[in-house]
Amino acid sequence: MATMTLVQAIARTLDEEMARDDAVVVLGEDVGKRGGVFLATEGLQQKYGPDRVIDTPLSEAAIIGAAVGMAAHGLRPVAEIQFADYVFPGFDQLVSQAAKLRYRSGAQFTAPMVVRMPSGGGVKGGHHHSQSPEAHFVHTAGLKVVVVSTPYDAKGLLKTAIRDDDPVVFMEPKRLYRAVKEEVPDEDYTIPLGQAAVRREGDDLTLIYYGTVAPEVLQAADELEKVGIRPHVLDLRSLMPWDKEAVLEAVSRTGRVMIVADAPRHASFASEVAATIAEEVLDQLEAPPVRVTGFDTPYPYAQDKLYMPTVTRILNATKKVLDY
């Protein structure tokens, strides 16, 4: 058992998976000699060589597209996109090739691959280093989507993603890379996709979140507990598939629910969860489902900390939900 940050857990897991399976290769910009701009692939090229840890040209289309071809040809590529904001030149490869290869070929060809990307704001990066584009991926059938928020989950979910037979978009909130340290077991373990983590148990309302807003949500939960309100807090961790069962169970029990995420509100994943709750358990609700999200603006630079849901914004919304 070692204590480590989220980004260290990623690097450690990649190392373990590359040692376990020769088919696992890593590719991306600066992942080799440099060990990645966030050091998520630190030391891997020294250990496994330039054929398995490939410094690619500066081209997201090449990185994701080549990963599709490698996967179809028998490898298990783990591609890194340096920032989620830069995935768009490779978006066609994700949507037209990775997501549809199994389907369009009748499962003759498949793309077992992972596309890792640091996502979210809070690091003063402006709109091109802060976005959380998960809704695009969830909207594309054929892709699985994971958003981690803890070192422990990062290891278990990355292992699952690498061993999965489908393409997995694996989002890593960059502001959490070094925010917390946690004990991560040395042994091999996996966490199934589609299983939410219960972060707090309670009966008064359900707080659903994923990814980069974890610190704010957990702090808001602490504040609520101080005044005698016990929220049930769920970290979804995986958005495709997502844990509808855990969500509906908790919402039916508490009757009140908020979904917190940093991505813009319109057509967001939070909206999908809210709509599903409204469709399936409306009669159990004592208040409308409330979304606390980023704003429908590009991610601003100067207001970096104000764009994503703050503790105050979460608590204000909580009042509405509780007083309804």
Partner 1 sequence: MIKDTQRFKPFTRDPIALVNEHGEWIGSFDLDLDDDQLRTLYRDMVAARLLDERLLLLQRSGKSSFAMEAAGHEGIQIAIAHTVKRGFDWLFPYYRDHGMLLALGVPALEIFAETLATKADPAKGRQMPNHPGSKKLNAFTVASPIASHIPPAAGAAISAKIQNTGQVVVTTFGDGATSEGDWHAGVNFAAAQGAPAVFVVENNRYAISVDLQKQTGSENLAVKAKAYGMPGYYLDGMDVLASYYVMQEVIERTRVGAGPALVEAVVYRYGPHSSADDDRLYRPKEEVEHWKQRDPIERYRKFLAGRSLWDEAWEAELREEIGTELARALEEAEAAGPVPEVWMFDDVYAEPLWPQVEQRRLLEEELGA
Residues identified as active-site = 129
Chosen residue from 12, 52, 129, 175 binding partner 1 by CB under 8 A:
52
The verdict on 97 binding partner 1 (CB under 8 A) reads yes
Backbone torsions φ then ψ of 258, nearest 5 degrees: -130, 140
Using alpha carbons only, what angle is made at residue 129 by residues 121 and 315, rounded to the nearest 5 degrees? 15
> Which position among 15, 43, 88, 109 is part of the footprint of partner 1 (CB under 8 A)?
109
73 versus 226: smaller Cβ distance to partner 1: 73
Nearer to partner 1, 103 or 324 (CB): 103
Stretch touching partner 1 by CB under 8 A, among 86-94, 172-180, 215-223, 248-256: 86-94
Q: Is 165 in the site for partner 1 (CB under 8 A)?
A: yes
**Which of 1, 73, 187, 296 is close enough to bind partner 1 by CB under 8 A?**
73
Minimum CB distance to partner 1, residue 112 (Å): 9
Measured over the CA atoms of residue 240, residue 114, residue 97 and residue 57, the dihedral's sign is positive
Q: How many CB atoms sit inside 10 A of residue 137's CB?
A: 28
Q: What's the Cα-to-Cα distance from 307 to each of 82, 120, 211, 272, 311, rounded to whole Å?
A: 22, 11, 15, 21, 12
Q: How far apart are CA 224 and CA 318, in angstroms?
A: 9
Task: Select from 55-63, 222-230, 248-256, 295-303 the region that touches partner 1 (CB under 8 A).
Answer: 55-63
In DSSP terms, 234 is beta-bridged to 198, 208
Least CB distance from residue 69 to partner 1, whole Å?
Answer: 3
Q: For residues 280-309, which are near partner 1 according to CB under 8 A?
A: none
Compute the C-alpha angle 138/88/309, nearest 5°: 60
Whose CA is closest to 258, among 226, 228, 227, 224? 224
Across the strands, what pairs with 79?
27, 115
**Cβ nearer to partner 1, comparing 90 with 173:** 90
Q: What is the binding site for partner 1 (CB under 8 A)?
A: 25, 51-52, 54, 56-57, 59, 61-62, 64-75, 77, 89, 92-93, 96-97, 100-110, 141-142, 144, 164-166, 194, 240-241, 244
